Amino acid sequence: MANNNQVWVPEDQRTTAWYLFNKMFRCRVGNLDSMSADYVRYYGMPTSGDPAYDEQVAKELVDRYLTIDDMMAYAKRGVAVEVNKPEDTKVIYEIISNHLVAWKNQLEHQLGKPDPELVEDLIRMDNFANIIYAHAKYHFAPDTLDSAFARNISSLLSISNANLLAKPAEPVDPNATPEEAEAAKFPERQSFRDVFISRAAAPVNGPGRWK
């Protein structure tokens, strides 16, 4: 399922979308889930004659290099993906955040009726960002989250402090478990879902289409 069509582009010419389709991360996914329907249809699955063992082999986790677009495709199918290096979730989240902010800025400065397909794409990516943030936040120091989100990964985009994605952390509940108290140290992620739905925009000459 990994994207085999990576395209090299000089760093100063990369849009935020380039990173979604071309930067790869080592992940783990179920063996059978990693195979396309066409592959299984034509080649099938090897069998040992023991149904229980065959099921175990089909479900065992295998290493795959995936782009964020690949991960999104798995998520759409309801397939869980494990990122081998937990600290990579921080990079993945920053890439997604930069793309969402780029489209937010684009939509705010364009007139016209929004493209329903584009809005659907962005909402799905925003939902995926919520999943990634739950893991990525532990790799940010709480007091440096704002500056991390403000960093520009593309020469085409400059993100200001007004576009930060995190809300202030809520006070810690004195009755919270240790795990809940640790999670509460980090700010809640601010979704752009409502922004994408409400903004009138024309998705022409934007920061790169994601679908």
**Is the pLDDT reported for residue 130 higher than 80?**
yes
Q: How confident is the model at residue 69 (pLDDT cuts 50, 70, 90)?
A: very high
∠ Cα 43 48 52 (to 5°)? 105
Quick one: average pLDDT of 177-199?
76
Domain boundaries, the chain: 11-198
- Output 8-13 pairs: Cβ under 8 A, ≥24 positions apart: 12/155, 13/155
pTM: 0.73
pLDDT, tens digit (0-9, with 9 covering 90-100), for 17-53: 999 999 999 999 998 888 877 776 777 777 777 778 7
∠ Cα 201 19 129 (to 5°)? 65
Neighbours of 210 (CB within 10 A): 21
Where do we find the tokens 């991360």? Answer: 25
Under 8 Å CB-to-CB from 163, ≥6 apart: which residues?
Answer: 101, 104, 105, 149, 150
